[in-house]
Homo-oligomer: A and B are copies of this chain.
């Protein structure tokens, strides 16, 4: 690895996720943002549509993706809707790909078709993709062509559940995931449901019939448990911008205690720069990670014997999206994993 700078293009830079990636990448010492893609807002500057970029260093003008010389990039970062993402990225030959859409997360094109309402746009590429939950993909990312960044809900759920399932401390059934997310998870599209007056001073669950993050969660949990796992999963929209909290009830494997499960998680994460098991008894809270790539976790004994409660908190836009993408990019390129992600949480 030399000290050279890597050229990056970000497609879909006009959304919350894209803009948050640009926020982080623009301060990364080894990246040059060499292209910014957007459709409806092509021709504008980032600071026209995101005035908080006004004080920052100059960035390329937004262009339609097809006008950017993507082959001249070292890395292309896709912050596009599913479907559109695979379509554009499948035309790229040289650069490494960091994809934040759902298109390369599911290993099975059939499952994709079931959940995303149509055939996969580029099934031939699926074998080239690594599911990029950074802490569990560290050894495969350096050689991967595509990092498929997990959804925000799966990120928190998998960090909470994988160590216990891998260590056979959690039974692979009766897993119930209650998820609470800030509104930025829904993107910047102007929809009535996301208006301030609809969201503020209110809370409600959604996606009760089946949320698209479910198959992803089940795919990874099943692999860890070496058994088919089906989960209850109910996301809720709560009145805040950033942050995601999951409270997960699990059945412990026979003879196991919440205390042991917590110990296994402490062991698994003790050297992780971004994943932290809190001191015993301290409840994770989203304010502990706001604006940062950190995740905080903890385990509690449930009142029902034989069960435990795991709680995980992340910033849905950072560890749940743009930050994990940058972490994956660092891992892919052999850069220090924390580069550009050192900034601490912002509280209050």
**Which residues of A pack against B, CB within 8 Å?**
16, 19, 23, 26-27, 50-56, 173-174, 176, 178, 180, 182-184, 188, 190-192, 194-206, 208-210, 214, 230-234, 236, 238-243, 245, 247, 249, 274, 276, 278, 281-292, 294, 296, 300-305, 307, 309, 311, 313, 317, 342-348
Contact (Cβ within 8 A) B309 A202 = no
Among B173, B243, B300, contact of A201 (Cβ-Cβ < 8 Å)? B243
Q: A196-B183, A197-B241 are in contact. Are A55 and B204 (CB under 8 A)?
A: no
- Contact call B204/A313, Cβ cutoff below 8 A: yes
Please report the C-alpha to C-alpha distance between residue A19 and residue B192 in the assembled complex, in whole angstroms: 15
Complex Cα spacing A213 to B296, Å: 27
Question: Contact partner of A347 among B50, B191, B240, CB < 8 A?
Answer: B50
List the 8 closest A-B pairs by CB distance, nearest first. A204-B285, A52-B345, A202-B287, A197-B348, A178-B178, A196-B199, A55-B294, A241-B348
Q: How would you classify the secondary structure of chain A's contact residues: helix, strand, loop or mixed?
A: loop
B230 with A303: CB separation less than 8 A: yes
Knowing A54-B276, A196-B195, say if A202 contacts B240 (CB, 8 Å).
Answer: yes
Known contacts A208-B283, A208-B309, A209-B281, A53 near B344 by CB under 8 Å = yes
- Give A230's nearest chain B residue, CB to CB: B304
Using A52-B290, A196-B183, A281-B209 as known contacts, say yes or no to A232 and B201 having CB atoms under 8 A apart.
no
Residues of B contacting A19 in the complex (Cβ-Cβ under 8 angstroms): 347
- Cross-chain contact B200 with A239 (CB below 8 angstroms): yes
Q: Residues of B contacting A56 with CB < 8 Å?
A: 344
A292 CB contacts on chain B under 8 angstroms: 52, 55
Contacting pair B178 A247 (CB below 8 A)? yes
Tell me the smallest distance from the CB of A190 to a CB of chain B, in Å: 4
- Find the B residue at minimum CB distance from A245: B203
Contact at B288–A203, with CB atoms within 8 Å? no
Q: Is the CB of B232 within 8 A of A304?
A: yes
**Are B55 and A289 in contact, with the CB atoms below 8 A?**
yes
Sample of 18 further A-B pairs with CB below 8 A, known A52-B288, A52-B292, A203-B243: A16-B197, A16-B348, A23-B344, A26-B344, A52-B346, A55-B294, A174-B174, A180-B180, A200-B239, A202-B290, A203-B285, A204-B286, A204-B287, A206-B283, A208-B283, A208-B311, A230-B304, A241-B348
